Amino acid sequence: MARVVATPAAIEAVDRLRAGEGPVMFFQSGGCCDGSLPICFHDGEFVIGSHDVHLGTVAASPFYIDHRQFEAWKHTQLILDVGTGDPEGFSLAAGDGRHFITRSRVLTGPEQAALEGTGTPGVH
Amino acid sequence: MAVVEEVTTDGMTSEGAFVAPGQPGSLVDVKPRYDNFIGGRWVPPTKGQYMQNISPVTGHPFTEVARSTAEDVDLALDAAHAARDAWGGSSLAERAAVLNAIADAIEANLTMLAVAESWENGKPVRETLAADIPLAVDHFRYFAGATRSLEGRSTEIDKDTVAYHFQEPLGVVGQIIPFNFPLLMAAWKIAPALAAGNCTVVKPASPTPWSILKLAEVIAAVVPPGVINIVTGPGGEIGKALASSPRIAKIGFTGETTTGRLIMQYAAENLIPSTVELGGKSPNIFFGDVMDHDDRYLDKAIEGLVLYAFNKGEVCTCPSRALVQESMYDQFMERCLERIGRITQGNPLDPTVMLGAQNSAQQLEKITGYVDIGVQEGAEVLIGGERTPLSGDLVDGYYFEPTVMKGHNDMRIFQEEIFGPVLAVTTFTDEADAVRIANDTLYGLGAGVWTRNGNLAYRMGRAIKAGRVWTNCYHLYPAGAAFGGYKISGVGRENHLMMLEHYSQTKNLLVSYSDEPMGFF
C-alpha cells in the first residue's frame, strides 16, 4: 500500500525522461489553471520546504505535496499517469506531446489505517 | 457588466454566429504563423521552431506561434532594456497618452478582439463582448488616470530637514499571463507596469498565445518600440528563462500554487519582488432570507449561484462552493437547477450561447477526473456530470455539461479548484456554521455573500478570510477594486491604484537645509 503509485505508462515516461534529462522530482500542484496536475521538475529545481510532505517514490523519483494540501487529500491515493497534450505550465513533458496527470482513488478505511503515519515532512 | 444589447451582424453567418477567425467573411484575419513581438517588430524565434495553436472550439489547430527558447527571452529583454530609460523618463502626460491610445485602439477593434478571444480560449463571445474586452479597455484608461495622480510625499523631519519621497520605475519587468482571460489578465498586468514607467516582457500562457498577438497588431502603432514585448512558448522553458533572469526587476505571475512558489523561489535567487495571484475555492453563501420574497433580488441571487458557469468555470474566483442555508435549501436549489438546466451550450461564437468549450483537452480530462472522485467520495450529481456531445465542427471540441454535485466540505471536490463548470453545493445551519465552512479551505481569493440583511452581510464579509468578498453580487471586476488573495491564494494585489507602488521603487531624498555641522568629527 502506498500513497502514490504510477501506471505502467507513467513509469515508462519517467524512465525515458530520466535517461534523457537525468533525475527528476514531482510536486503535486493545486489550484487554478494547471492546478491539480503533478509538476515534474529536474531533481532539485523546486526547493522542498521543511513542511512539504514526501508522499512516496515513483519510478525512482520522489513525489511531494504541500502539507496543507496533504491534509485535504490524504484519504485518497494518487495515481501518476500520462495524458495527451503538451504540458501547459512549467512541468517537464511526459514525452512528445504528452503530460503527466494525477488520477485519484478514495482509500478504504483499512487502507487509510495502514497508511497512518506515512507521508513525512522534508526532503527525501 | 452589462449584457450587450446590440450586436453587429458584420462578420456573422446566416445562423447568427460570428464566422470563425481565418474563414472568408470573418472579422479576424489569421496568418499561417506568428512570430514574437519584440522591440515593436515581429521577430522569428532564434531556433526557427513553431508550435501549433489549437482552438478549443473545434479541438483543431488553426495557426502556429513561435516555440521560443531562452535566446528569444534575451532578445526581448534587450529590447526592453533599450527602451527603458526613455519610457521611464517620459512625463506622466506622455505615459497616460500612450495608455489611452492603447485603450482607444482596443475599443476600435472590440468586436474583432472579442471574436479572437472566444476562438482562442473557448469562452462565449457574449462574455468577451460584454466583459473581457470592455474591461481591458477600461483598465488601460483607469491606469492612464491613475498615473496622472502620482504624487510624491514630503515630510518635514525638523525645521531644516526634509524627506522627499519619489516613486521611480523598477525598469524592466517580467509578466506571466494565465490562459483563462488571456487579454484581460494581460491588461491587468501591462497597464500598471507601463503606468509606473516600466517596460515589460510578457509570456502568454502556452495554450493561449495568439489573441495577445492580435492585440499587439492592434496597438503596435501607438506603443513605443520595446515598451511591450511578447514571447510565446512552453512555460518550463521560456517561463523559467524569464522568471529567473537577473535582468528583470520584478516578476508578476497568475497561475497555480506550485508554479507560484517556483516564481517566488526564482525571485528570491535574484532578490527581486514578485506578485503572485494563485488559486481559489471560493464560497458563495446564500442565507435563508434570500427567499423571503419572490422578486428581482431573488432572481439576481439565483443568477449569482449560476455564475459558477461563467467562463466555463475557468476563473480563479469561480464561486465553485455554494453554501446554502438548510432552511431554504430545497426551494432555492430547485429554482437554481431549473436555471442551470436552461444554460445553452455550443459554439461560443454564437452570441446566444452561454457556455463554451473548456480551454484544452487537459482541462477536460481534469474535470472528468474530479467528477469521478466526487462520485467515489459519495457526492450526489444533481445535474450534468458528463462531457457534452456536440456535432459537426464542434465534435472534437472540449465541452462539458454544467454540473452540480451535492456533498460536504471535506470532499476533494470542495477543497480543490476544478476549473470547470462544476459546482459543489452543501448546506449550513447558521451564521457561525457558514463562517466555519467558508473558511475551511486552503484558499482565500474570492467569496460571495447573499442576504437581505445588511448587518449580517457586513459581519460575514469581515469574517471570511478572502481578498475579495462580493456582497449581493459576484464576478464583477471593475478597475479600482483591489483584487488578490489571502492564505495560499497569492501575495499582492492587482486592479487598483496601489499597483503603481507594486511596480515602483521608493526614492527618498533626505535633505538638510541647515549650515550647521553634525559635530562628531
Task: State mean pLDDT over A37-58.
Answer: 95
Q: Is A46 helix (H, G, I), strand (E, B) or coil?
A: coil
The number of residues making up chain B comes to: 521
pLDDT for A32 beyond 90: no
Q: What is the ipTM of this complex?
A: 0.94
Percent of chain B surpassing pLDDT 90: 95
Q: Where are the alpha helices (DSSP H) in B248-406?
A: 257-270, 296-306, 329-341, 361-376
Predicted confidence at residue B392, as pLDDT, reads 95
What digits encode the pLDDT tens for the residues B327-353? 999 999 999 999 999 999 999 999 999
Q: Is B264:B481 a contact under the CB 8 Å cutoff?
A: no
What digits encode the pLDDT tens for the residues B275-288? 999 989 999 999 99
Give the helix, strand, coil percentages of chain B, each rounded to 5: 40, 20, 40
Task: State mean pLDDT over B488-513.
Answer: 95
Q: Is A98 exposed, middle or buried (0-12, 13-18, 19+ CB in 10 A)?
A: middle
On chain B, the residues whose CB falls within 8 A of the CB of A89 are: 206, 235-236, 239, 255-256, 259
Q: Is A42 exposed, middle or buried (0-12, 13-18, 19+ CB in 10 A)?
A: middle
- Distance, CA of A24 to CA of B200 (rounded, Å): 32
Cell representation of residue B521: 568629527
Q: Are B360 and A31 within 8 A, CB to CB?
A: no
On chain B, the residues whose CB falls within 8 A of the CB of A102 are: 369
- Distance, CA of B325 to CA of B290 (rounded, Å): 10
- Distance, CA of B289 to CA of B328 (rounded, Å): 8
CA B194 to chain centre: 18
Q: Where are the alpha helices (DSSP H) in B154-247?
A: 182-195, 211-219, 240-243
CA nearest to B409 within chain A:
A72
pTM of the entire structure?
0.95
pLDDT for A25 beyond 70: yes
Largest CA distance in chain A: 40
Three-state SS sequence of B485-507 = CEECCEECCECCCCHHHHCEEEE
Min Cα distance A92 → chain B (Å) is 7
pLDDT for B1 beyond 50: no
pLDDT for B18 beyond 60: yes
CA nearest to A104 within chain B:
B373
Average pLDDT along chain B: 96
Task: State mean pLDDT over B189-197.
Answer: 98
- A34, A83, A103 ranked by CB distance to B255: nearest: A34
On chain A, the residues whose CB falls within 8 A of the CB of B281 are: 31
Task: State mean pLDDT over B394-416.
Answer: 96
Q: Are B442 and A31 within 8 A, CB to CB?
A: yes
Predicted confidence at residue B462, as pLDDT, reads 98
Q: Are A29 and B377 within 8 A, CB to CB?
A: no
Predicted confidence at residue A85, as pLDDT, reads 87
Predicted confidence at residue B8, as pLDDT, reads 57
On chain A, the residues whose CB falls within 8 A of the CB of B377 are: 106
Min Cα distance A100 → chain B (Å) is 10
Min Cα distance A67 → chain B (Å) is 10
CA nearest to B278 within chain A:
A32
Q: Are A33 and B257 within 8 A, CB to CB?
A: no
Q: Which residues does A contribute to its contact with B (CB < 8 Å)?
A: 27-37, 39, 45-47, 66, 68-69, 72-73, 76, 83-93, 99, 101-106
On chain A, the residues whose CB falls within 8 A of the CB of B488 are: 31, 66, 68
CA nearest to A103 within chain B:
B369
- Distance, CA of B29 to CA of B50 (rounded, Å): 19
Q: Are B256 and A103 within 8 A, CB to CB?
A: no
Closest to B409 (Cα-Cα) out of B387, B431, B425: B425
| CA-angle at B482, arms to B481 and B487, nearest 5° | 140
- Distance, CA of B437 to CA of B411 (rounded, Å): 12
Does residue B10 or residue B222 have the better pLDDT? B222
On chain A, the residues whose CB falls within 8 A of the CB of B207 are: 88
pLDDT for A109 beyond 50: yes
Predicted confidence at residue B449, as pLDDT, reads 98
Phi/psi of residue B146, nearest 5 degrees: -60, -40
CA nearest to A34 within chain B:
B256
Q: Are B365 and A83 within 8 A, CB to CB?
A: yes
Cell representation of residue B117: 478571444
Q: Are A32 and B419 within 8 A, CB to CB?
A: yes
CA B377 to chain centre: 31
Q: Are B442 and A37 within 8 A, CB to CB?
A: no
- Distance, CA of B368 to CA of B383 (rounded, Å): 14
Best interface-test mutation with B: which of A7, A24, A32 has the largest number of B CBs within 10 A? Answer: A32
What digits encode the pLDDT tens for the residues B58-83? 999 999 999 999 999 999 999 999 99
Cell representation of residue B256: 497555480
Best interface-test mutation with B: which of A27, A84, A90, A92 has the largest number of B CBs within 10 A? Answer: A90
Min Cα distance B437 → chain A (Å) is 14
The number of residues making up chain A comes to: 124
Q: Is B79:B229 a contact under the CB 8 Å cutoff?
A: yes
Min Cα distance A64 → chain B (Å) is 11
- Distance, CA of B195 to CA of B185 (rounded, Å): 16
Q: Given CA atoms B253, B255, B261, B265 in this order, what sign does their dihedral have?
A: negative
On chain A, the residues whose CB falls within 8 A of the CB of B258 are: 27-30, 39, 46, 66
Cell representation of residue A95: 514525452
Question: What order of strands is seen across the sheet that includes strand B403-406?
Answer: B380-383, B403-406, B422-428, B321-325, B283-286, B446-450, B468-471
Q: Are B417 and A73 within 8 A, CB to CB?
A: no
Predicted confidence at residue B2, as pLDDT, reads 46
Q: Are A92 and B489 within 8 A, CB to CB?
A: no
What digits encode the pLDDT tens for the residues B86-130? 999 999 999 999 999 999 999 999 999 999 999 999 999 999 999
Three-state SS sequence of B432-486 = HHHHHHHHCCCEECEEEEECCCHHHHHHHHHHCCCCEEEECCCCCCCCCCCECCE
Q: Is B471:B132 a contact under the CB 8 Å cutoff?
A: no
Task: State mean pLDDT over B380-392.
Answer: 97
Question: What order of strands is seen across the sheet that includes strand B228-230?
Answer: B41-43, B36-38, B228-230, B199-203, B172-176, B250-254, B274-277, B490-491
On chain B, the residues whose CB falls within 8 A of the CB of A36 are: 366, 369-370, 416-419
Q: Are A32 and B178 within 8 A, CB to CB?
A: yes
Best interface-test mutation with A: which of B258, B320, B418, B489 has the largest number of A CBs within 10 A? Answer: B258
Q: Is B278:B260 a contact under the CB 8 Å cutoff?
A: yes
Q: Are A39 and B360 within 8 A, CB to CB?
A: no
Cell representation of residue B504: 515602483
Q: How confident is the model at residue B5 (pLDDT cuts 50, 70, 90)?
A: very low
Q: Is B364:A101 a contact under the CB 8 Å cutoff?
A: no
Residues 6+ apart with CB under 8 A from B70: B237, B238, B241
- Distance, CA of A103 to CA of A118 (rounded, Å): 20
CA distances from A123 to A44, A54, A119, B75, B191 (A): 10, 7, 11, 37, 40
Q: How confident is the model at residue B486 (pLDDT cuts 50, 70, 90)?
A: very high
Residues 6+ apart with CB under 8 A from B445: B277, B278, B279, B280, B282, B316, B317, B466, B467, B468, B484, B485, B486, B489, B490
The residues of B that are catalytic are 277, 316
Q: Given CA atoms B350, B355, B359, B361 in this order, what sign does their dihedral have?
A: negative
What digits encode the pLDDT tens for the residues B229-241? 999 999 989 999 9
CA nearest to B376 within chain A:
A106
| Residue type, position B495, single letter | N
Closest to B235 (Cα-Cα) out of A103, A105, A88, A27: A88
CA distances from B254 to A81, B29, B69, B106, B302 (A): 26, 29, 21, 22, 30
Q: Is B340:B309 a contact under the CB 8 Å cutoff?
A: yes
CA nearest to A64 within chain B:
B258
Q: Are A106 and B489 within 8 A, CB to CB?
A: no
| Residue type, position A37, single letter | L
